Amino acid sequence: MLRLFVGLELPDGVIARLNIMCAGVPGATWVEPANMHITLRFIGEVEEHVAEEIDAALARIEAKAFSLELSGVGTFGEGTKARALWAAVTPSPELSHLHAKVESAVVRAGVPPEGRKFTPHVTLARLDHTPPARLHTFVEGNGLFQAGPFTVDHLTLFESRLGIGSPVYTPLADYPLI
């Protein structure tokens, strides 16, 4: 079994800007800089033959390269129920179009459709018992964060290996955008 997701890699300069923010929140488990990315589609665990079908379907995607920017920060969940802290991706019709193509390709490969709404972001931290006041202060203090624009010229199929500590994300294949 392989645990997979499709994502967009970030330029080193953007990762460095994000990493500077990653401190000062009790209960936050910060994402390693090497793991920062934008998820287009979490796939989960699949058999090897399904992974091959996904690879073939992603290779058939035709989309144009485009620019993206990050702007602001937020959380999934609120108050004591906050579970993740993230940097927002500025809305982009090109990103939405690419996401739709990826979703269609993954479903054609035999994976059930994603049930959640696509909310493009870069996860900065997982949260556990984070004091709401400290989280609010972080979000307010970094609300004007911006990075980019940067060019998105490919998407990547990643394997995610869980273990002790941070997961390890390994790029399996890149798919160029034209």
CA separation for the pair 127, 30 (Å, rounded) = 9
User: Looking at 49, 97, 99, 121, which residue is catalytic?
Assistant: 121
Instruction: Provide the pLDDT for residue 120.
Output: 98
All domains of the chain in start order, with CATH: 2-176 (3.90.1140.10)
Write down the pTM of the prediction. Answer: 0.96
Instruction: Provide the pLDDT for residue 165.
Output: 79
Q: Any catalytic annotation for residue 37?
A: yes
Instruction: Provide the pLDDT for residue 164.
Output: 82
- In terms of phi and psi (left: phi > 0; alpha: psi -120 to 50; beta: otherwise), the region of 129 is left
CA separation for the pair 125, 31 (Å, rounded) = 5
Q: Any catalytic annotation for residue 154?
A: no
How do strand 154-161 and strand 168-176 relate by DSSP bridges?
Answer: antiparallel
Instruction: Provide the pLDDT for residue 166.
Output: 83
Q: Give me the residues of the chain with pLDDT under 50, please.
A: none
